[in-house]
Amino acid sequence: MEQEVIRCEEVLYEYSYFEKKEGLGGSIKDFFFREVKKKKAVDKVSLSIKRGELVGLLGPNGAGKTTLIKILIGILQPEEGEVRCNGYIPYDRKYEFLKKIGVVLGQKSQLSWDLPAMDTLYLLREIYEIPRKEFDERLDDLAEKLNVKDKLRIPVRKLSLGERVKCELICSLIHNPDILFLDEPTLGMDIVSQRFVYDFLNDINQTRKTTIIFTSHYIQDIENLAKRVVLVKGGKIVSDGTLNQLKENYKTERSYVIETDGTKPELEAVGVGMTKLSDNKYKVFVDAESAVLKSISLSNVVSIDEDKMELDEILESIFG
C-alpha cells in the first residue's frame, strides 16, 4: 500500500479585509467603525496525496491554490480542519519537518540578488547539516541535469530568469527533501527553459520518488508534468483525477470533421448540428446527452475524424 504523505480534512482558511469608504467623512467613519469582511480562500478542502505522486493544482486567479500550498508548508494556519504533511502538523514548523520539504514560490526567492547562488548553497549546507561529500555529489548531479554548472558562481542579478529558476530548484532540492512544492515554476520562461524544467522534474519524480505538488496557469505545465490534476475553484476542489479522466468527465459534446468530395454530407440525425469549414470539409457537433446519429451516407465521404475538445477549452468551460 502506498504511503500517504499529505492529508487535509475539511480545511478552512479565511482572509480578513475591509472596504474603505470614499472621502474624508468615509475615512473618519472607517477609523471608528471599520467593517471587517471575510473571504473563504480555502473552503472545507479534503485532499490526500501519496508518496511519489506528481500533482498539479489548477484554477483561476484567486481560486485558493497558493493559499493551500502555504497551509501545506506551514506559512498559514487553517482556522478549521486537520492538516498532516509527512506526518507533521505543518504550522508547528518543526525542524524535522522543514528538512523534509523543498519550496519554490514564484514571487519569493531564497537567492541573494548580489551574491552568486553558490553562497546561498553553502549557507543551506550548514542549515541542513549536509555532510560535505554528500553535498558536493548532490550539487554536481543537480547542476549537471539543469545545465547550470557554469552559472553557480555568477551573481544572481547577472543570470537570466530561466537560470535563476534552475538555481532556485537546486536550492530547494540540495537537502534531498521528500516533498517538493512549486508555485508557478515556469512563469515567464522561454520554451527551451520550460523543457529543461519539465524533463528535470519528471526525472527526480521517477528516480528519487520525490512527491511534487505544483500550481500553474500554463496548459503546457499540466500536460507535461501532472500525473494527477486537482481543479480548485472558489476555494473548493471541483475535480480530482488523471488528465484523461478530466477530459472524459467534462466531455459534454463530441464533434467530427467530415471531408467529402465537395458535396454536403447526407446524414439523418436528431440533436446534431453541422458547420461548413471549407468547400469540402464540414464539422458535425453531437450532443452526447441527446443526439442520435441515425445514418450517414458514405457515398461522398472521403474521411471522418474525431475533433477532440482541447484541455484549454475544457478548463475554460469549467472556470468560465
To 5 degrees, how large is the angle CA 218–CA 221–CA 225? Answer: 160
Of the candidates 6, 182, 8, the residue with the CA atom closest to the CA atom of residue 78: 8
Residues 215, 278: one domain?
no
pLDDT tier for residue 269 given thresholds of 50, 70 and 90: low
* 258 neighbors 304 (Cβ within 8 angstroms): yes
Residues 160, 284: one domain?
no
Q: Tell me which of 195, 217, 248 is where a domain ends.
A: 248
> What φ, ψ does residue 291 adopt, rounded to 5°?
-75, 145
Q: Tell me which of 248, 269, 300 is where a domain ends.
A: 248
Domain membership of residue 41 (yes or no) is: no
Residues 221, 206: one domain?
yes
Q: Give residue 154's Cα distance to chain centre.
A: 30
**190 secondary structure, DSSP code:** -
Domain membership of residue 257 (yes or no) is: yes
Domain membership of residue 25 (yes or no) is: no
Residues 197, 309: one domain?
no
Give the residue-averaged pLDDT of 26-32: 77
**Residue 151 in grid coordinates:** 552559472
**61 secondary structure, DSSP code:** T
Domain membership of residue 284 (yes or no) is: yes
pLDDT tier for residue 218 given thresholds of 50, 70 and 90: confident
**Residue 218 in grid coordinates:** 500554463
Termini Cα distance of the chain: 38
Q: What does the pLDDT look like over 221-265, one tens digit per residue?
A: 888 888 899 988 889 998 888 877 777 766 555 667 778 887 777
Q: Which residue carries 498559514 as its cell?
A: 76
Residues 303, 242: one domain?
no
Residues 217, 264: one domain?
no
Residues 197, 258: one domain?
no
With H, G, I as helix, E, B as strand and everything else as coil, classify residue 196: helix
pLDDT tier for residue 294 given thresholds of 50, 70 and 90: low
* 13 neighbors 76 (Cβ within 8 angstroms): yes
> What φ, ψ does residue 302 adopt, rounded to 5°?
-90, -45
Whole domain around residue 145: which residue ranges? 4-14+46-248
Domain membership of residue 23 (yes or no) is: no
Q: Tell me which of 248, 275, 304 is where a domain ends.
A: 248
* 70 neighbors 8 (Cβ within 8 angstroms): no
Q: What does the pLDDT look like over 47-99, one tens digit per residue?
A: 999 999 999 988 888 888 889 999 999 999 999 999 999 989 999 999 999 99
Cα 124 to Cα 87, 132, 147, 162: the distances in Å are 23, 12, 21, 21
Residues 308, 235: one domain?
no
Residues 229, 269: one domain?
no
Query: What is the distance between the alpha carbons of residues 73 and 5, in angstroms, rounded to a whole number?
Result: 12
With H, G, I as helix, E, B as strand and everything else as coil, classify residue 285: strand
Residues 171, 310: one domain?
no
- CATH code: domain of residue 155: 3.40.50.300
How many domains, in total, are found in the chain?
2
Residues 103, 54: one domain?
yes
Domain membership of residue 107 (yes or no) is: yes
Angle between helix 161-173 and helix 191-207 axes, rounded to 10 deg: 10
Domain membership of residue 295 (yes or no) is: yes
Question: How many separate helices (H) and strands (E) can be counted in the chain?
Answer: 10, 15
Residue 242 has a pLDDT of: 85
With H, G, I as helix, E, B as strand and everything else as coil, classify residue 130: coil
Residues 173, 288: one domain?
no
Domain membership of residue 37 (yes or no) is: no
Which of these ranges, 76-80, 152-156, 270-274, has the smallest mean pLDDT? 270-274
